[in-house]
Structure 1
């Protein structure tokens, strides 16, 4: 029976909370019994601007460092002048069904500008390539390679992980294999697996094959006439112009083998250790559409006590944002503590020994950038200065040390500490970046200013200020479920053994860790969290570690409002203001339209033009999607001053689509063309996702104008357009169509579920239209339950909106799959440090997964606050404090045996509150800052 009670009262309840204090008291720690063996084992620290990954080694400690504004590239124009003249021809080709021709035209004339220009690059490349190919003598069978170093092949992550960070160009590799007498007279197959990017392969000095392409497997036939009994020489020139280089192997099956043509049963494995020689590591700079986020450097500590230790523990305390290392060597206990402070803008480190005078170590600064200088500043300070390649940015870092007892000396290479009992070190860093248009900053002055703050303050006071500042954000929310028997295990073991019966509290730890990561990578006044938050150790990181705006950047901020971190959204909104400025030029040059537009990627320099390839780079709704975050922030906070400030950005995005939408000759509807359903299906006219986003943009812009009592005429224009936009359509397989045409393949399990945007994060499709909701659900069933990290995370949210908590939890279980399988290959899931694996690491899966868990507990996108709408059966008991709902409400909830027990509602703005739990509904008028508590039956 449906019961709806209208309650008209407003009162402030007693201050005594009906909730336990366990939300604040639950242990929130990632911990391990061994140092990190890989970057994705290390523990992340950050203050929004500085980042560090803590490895926790004993004989040698390593902290990998980042500074958020260190990118390659430079301020420049990204929009393609005159591209608009090809807009209508591209539209006509798509209308005629000539997709390939439209993509070819768009590829030539409609993409954004690269840096450097292609034509100049090609001239330089041809000259360089001719030079390096002229040295075939290195392939000779008798060439003396004894002085060459060795490399273990294959290198699945590229030769960058084998001490060749940042190396592009031409490298030679040499090895040999034995030919038995029985193989003589036969052609042999040389199987090399994948090679990035180009290879020229020789056997006994003769070229046997050459190919280009990072996804192609290399198999070459060695003619019998080239072979001899016994030792035969293989020499391979690998040419890599950019990004990862070398032999990347294959995920399954054998590679680097030789066998007779016609069968591989009788085979010989090539030696895994190959000699190599860097022939030329200075190729011309590759033209790039956008810039890459760069690592800053590395801080190493080398300890005199050696590596024979016991009682080891490495941890990250989420409650205080402190990382700690503890171990014992020769009866002495050594402790380390690290944190990155917002108030003091430094990485602070304390080292202690339980025995006086037992602490002796060296501190060294390094960086993967080629152009750098390490030098002594004064008797306590070492510095590193660096210049990025193919860019204008410079970085400076200062390392300052003080000790208790012992002797401290500084040289031009290291800080040495001898026979101390305690040592405090502080690292600060800055670049010459000022904003996306200006690079006149003074990093030395910035470092001196930051270091002076730390030098004047005791370590204990710096730590206290850090913890206080951090907890103001972190303690706004708490989430607990009962701890199972595995909750006491080290975190890597909890991941490996995860199941809900033995460790349901890994779910709550994951949510709190995701909040920690957002606080650590996105603070007011900083850059937004990028594809990897703020943490990156590669000069050529995956996807540039930039901002992908067709899902990934937005997903980073899905949990911010609902999990009570609204302050962390400020960097996103600051970026949007800049994107709207740059996006005006792109709108004009590419579409002849007013307002602003953003395609599927951006970077530090705020590029907004189409990039990469026309079959997925021409996607026009990135800015419109970002505008949803503006409206959501207002919905959750009811901050009218914020909305008034941001309304012009929403209006500008809507202005663009008012001009951009055109009438489809087949249906008469307004459609988005040219565009695509992100990374799926190529360049098309009328993708469903675009229309969902544009409708929602128009609705939200109208609603914002109404709140602000402004812009009535423009609102009327948008109201008239909304019903003319192509609607969501149910196809022949009972699915929600992804495109205008009913061409969905039910066997297609593509990672993107773009046409379900209207279910989540949008609200274009809700249970108010059950037919569309069921069609969307059918589409997701066809897509399947597999996927990589962020894709699984998106599915968690959508299944929660379908109110299927058990299926949503199934996606969480898949998300918690160990990212490294039994054979050592990566897959979607989580790494040992709970970083999300795409793979490789992408932080959006952490944020999206946390958002999905929140959607299981509270939903408010329809104007009604639904409590426990998708509670999984395997989470029957729990408690949440500080979860937020639209309308300006903050909720505490407790449930037991799968049933709501209590809910407390804080009204921040005094709006009417509509609560729903199961069949129970109430509506109450509230007072600003009023607090209201209800039983599980909403009494």
Structure 2
């Protein structure tokens, strides 16, 4: 935690980083979601999780439902997905594209160059707590305390107060639920699963649910009367063990349920395991070792007792969550239920406090769904109640999984990034075969849909989304970002080979175009279509802007890493340098927009939800407002055209808009999309993905996490080799402060502002690097109250040296006293 000592008469107003102990409940309403009624649907339930084991708490008074997930419970098993005929058609398709026969090339790709569908992430089971007491309920409150990582329910019934707590401990790997009442409780606990399962008695106070997942599930996008398939001796095995603890009263186990009566306090401890042992191992052959872990975990948890479990959980969770605090004002609305506040946003009410709560909720969701040693957060984090979830609840790499991790570094949750690097390392192995067999290329690649088995090949369907072999290039950006924020050269040394192999694929994938440039071919701009000169609709061409941006970015970073690490592979370095000189430039089209395709095609859907070509503006820094003003202006025109034609209608697309407008310094546009994102949330603040072709309620976590990144971009930017404070601050956030954000170069940052102007900033240097600050206002830099020397290196950019572990204060020069 950074020192918050005041200097002069200027104070840090309202921003605190709170740490809690197990015995204290956090009263800070700015980091709590709360409701005045139980949840009636999954989209009103409250999420808890430890990165691996997740639950959704409904908070009912007559029946509590807790829907559960485990992050390695998927359909399927390891299988071969490469399509060996794909390479036979590659040259033919390229010839068609260079001849302008785009629609014909697209049809050929779909028939001959794709592969099987991926598998699906499936729900684990449910715990129902059936309350036997009847009577009128009053004073009901249901809440999720983000700082503690605990969901709570409290209400009065029959002149007695009833309370309920739920958390999932990362320290002890158990779910803990405690029921307390001022009078005796009578409750029955029932375990079930939507998959094939059975429940058995283990001991006088323990049940076990065992089951096996389907060996194949057709994606929800495929119409079928028989979409779910089980096979004897195949698929992932799983279990849920539940122990009930009470200090008095009666406990009965019968018929797959446990009934407790005659006591005022009951504790339920649950452990969940699967037989998954790795993406390349048959889960049906390795049941016992992993499925016995839960027994030991429950025994240890029971010996610790509920209060110690709770204290250990809170200390672990708060140590990570409470690194960042944010105050945007509007605290008076914290007394309103969260769902009421969301509805008010829809009616035009300004609520900056809800934006701050949304920011912290997103950080909570990432911390709860992505911890060291777990799977990365998928399309729904770890929370899913459907056997056929939307888009298989996969890792979708043409925007979604990247967006999930945009806030990891800036939001001071860098360790949450690590599961994504584990997935990338796995893909390096499966992706080598895809690169070789499909495209005759060295290195590794992956396509837009990835599952637990690390499928790296294209799935079936429209090439507009299925055929996109650029996932490796984009995923490697996350490796570089982790280094950029931490300056950890040991990490870079371990990760560089993965980047290098992804770049080898990129080098081999490039072919010479008619004008002598190097382009990707076939090439698609994810999920979008153009109209060819002959009027035909197609998605397949050569050298789309997104491809070129990703490869330019990857090649640049490999060159920079090679210098830092003294790589002596001069042949590789020479190939990168040669390729960079021959990549096509960014182009401005006939409407003044940044061109999306290699030619200035007409767009089939001008309001499309994807803005793939703007990856160059964000999250990359290929185009910056100050260094490429003409291209930045073209990006602005692109956004305006998309929006004028109805774009940004999905949650994640809306979240990306916040980031893009913030990069352009357009604060009011950015804030407009913050409000649109807030207005579109489900009642539990989960992002509502409103897809024009899907008529069902959908949660996608990318909108939550992309929104966190967007709000951070409005307050702090550190791309383009310099840092900016408050680069896109809207008028509605005139006073506030933020503490704990991270900046590239190895810095933690605190910023306070008043009347829209910088009041004071403080940085902590974690790597001892020089600090470059872009500021239009004169500032002075203080250390221990004394002004230090700064240097002007270009208009509006200053630099000063730092020492690792030391803090520096930056104030407007007019405020220096």
TM-score where L is the length of structure 2: 0.88
SS in 2 for 1:651: helix
RMSD: 1.6
Partner of 1:737: 595
Q: Distance in 2 between matches of 1:856 and 1:68?
A: 33
The residue correspondences of 1:141-540 to structure 2 (distance < 5 A) are: 289-306=117-134, 308-355=136-183, 358-369=184-195, 371-390=196-215, 392-438=235-281, 439=283, 440-442=286-288, 443-498=290-345, 502-540=350-388
Please say if 1:906 is aligned against 2:753: no
Secondary structure of 1:816 counterpart: helix
* 1:753-790 deviations in Å (ceiling 9; x for gaps): 00100000111111211111101110010000641100
Which position in structure 2 is the counterpart of 1:801? 663
Change (3 A) 1:483 1:14: closer
Q: How far did 1:541 drift? A: 0.3
Q: Does 1:600 align with 2:476?
A: no
Q: What is the CA-CA distance between 1:93 and the residue it aligns to?
A: 1.2
- Is the contact made by 1:747 and 1:782 (CA closer than 8 Å) also made in structure 2? no
Alpha-carbon separation, structure 2, partners of 1:532 and 1:937:
47
Partners of 1:644 and 1:740 lie apart in 2 by 35
Question: Comparing 399-408 with 647-656, which one deviates more in the overlay?
Answer: 399-408
* Aligned pairs, number: 738
1:9-24 matched pairs, under 5 angstroms: 19-20=12-13, 22-24=15-17
Note closer, same or farther for the CA distance 1:377–1:800 as it changes in structure 2 (3 Å cut).
same
Partners of 2:4 and 2:12 within 8 A in 1: no
Q: Distance in 1 between matches of 2:16 and 2:640?
A: 36
Q: Answer whether contact 2:135 2:158 (CA < 8 A) is retained.
A: no
Is the 8 Å Cα contact of residues 686 and 740 (structure 1) preserved in structure 2?
yes
- Per-residue displacement from partner, 1:130-174 (whole Å, max 9, x unpaired)? xxxxxxxxxxxxxxxxxxxxxxxxxxxxxxxxxxxxxxxxxxxxx
C-alpha distance in 2 between matches for 1:762 and 1:692: 8
Structure number with greater Rg is: 1
The 3-state SS of whatever aligns with 1:334 is: strand
- Alignment of structure 1 residues 413-812 onto 2, 5 Å: 413-438=256-281, 439=283, 440-442=286-288, 443-498=290-345, 502-613=350-461, 614-665=463-514, 667-681=515-529, 682-711=539-568, 713=570, 714-745=572-603, 748-767=606-625, 768-784=627-643, 786-812=648-674
Aligned mates of 2:623, 2:771 — CA distance in 1: 23
Q: CA deviation at 1:606?
A: 0.2
Q: Aligned partners of 2:16, 2:398: CA distance in 1, in Å? A: 35
Measured after TM superposition, the shift of residue 316 of structure 1 is 0.2
- Partner SS state of residue 246, structure 2: strand
CA contact (8 A) 2:464 2:525 kept: no
Aligned-partner SS, 1:52: strand
In 1, Cα distance between equivalents of 2:640 and 2:111:
38
Q: Deviations over 1:399-441 (max 9, x none)?
A: 1101132111112410100121100110110000011011224
Contact preservation (8 Å) 2:14, 2:327 = no
Distance 1:540 1:14, change over 3 A: closer
Deviation per CA, 1:241-276: give whole Å up to 9, x if none: xxxxxxxxxxxxxxxxxxxxxxxxxxxxxxxxxxxx
Alignment check: 8 A CA contact 2:14 2:736 kept: no
Distance across 2 between alignment mates of 1:317 and 1:918: 40
Deviation at 1:672, TM superposition (A): 0.8
How far did residue 669 of structure 1 move? Answer: 1.3
Q: String of CA shifts for 1:780-823, please: whole Å, max 9, x gaps.
A: 10000641100000111000000011100111111112xxxxxx
Q: Distance in 2 between matches of 1:21 and 1:711?
A: 52
Q: Check the 8 A contact 2:379/2:702 in 1, yes or no.
A: yes
- Residue 747 of structure 1 deviates from its aligned partner by 6.9
| SS of match in other structure, 2:54 | strand
Q: Which residue of structure 2 aligns with residue 191 of structure 1?
A: none
Distance 1:918 1:376 in 2: 70
Q: 2:103 aligned with 1:100, yes or no? A: yes
Q: Give yes or no for contact 2:110–2:460 (8 Å, CA) kept in 1.
A: no
Superposition pairs of residues 22-101 of structure 1, within 5 angstroms: 22-24=15-17, 26-27=28-29, 28-101=31-104
Q: Once structures 1 and 2 are overlaid, which stretch shifts more, 49-58 or 746-755?
A: 746-755
Q: Which residue of structure 1 lines up, in the alignment, with residue 803 of structure 2?
A: 927
> Greater shift after overlay, 516-525 or 79-88?
79-88
SS of corresponding position for 2:365: helix
Distance (Å, rounded) in 2 between the aligned partners of 1:612 and 1:467: 45
**Matches of 1:335 and 1:13, distance apart in 2:** 37
Shift of 1:657: 1.0
SS at match of 2:584: coil
Structure 2 counterpart of 1:851, from 687, 709, 721: 709
3-state SS of 1:624 partner? helix
Secondary structure of 1:662 counterpart: strand
Shift of 1:746: 9.4
How much has 1:716 moved relative to structure 2? 2.6
Q: Determine the C-alpha separation between the residues in 1 that align with 2:170 and 2:668.
A: 40
**Residue deviations 1:683-732, cap 9 Å, x none?**
22111100001000000111111111114512232112112111110011
Alignment of 1:122-141 (within 5 A): none
Asked if structure 2 preserves the Cα contact closer than 8 Å seen for 1:23 and 1:879, the reply is no
2:269 match: secondary structure: strand
* Counterpart position of 1:284: none
The unaligned stretches of length 5 or more in structure 1 are 1-11, 115-288, 818-828
1:866 is aligned to 2:724 = yes
CA distance in 1, matches of 2:638, 2:103: 27
| CA distance in 1: counterparts of 2:252 and 2:201, whole angstroms | 10
Distance in 1, matches of 2:759 and 2:348, equals 22
Q: In structure 2, list runs of 5 or more residues that go unmatched.
A: 19-27, 217-234, 530-538, 691-697, 779-796
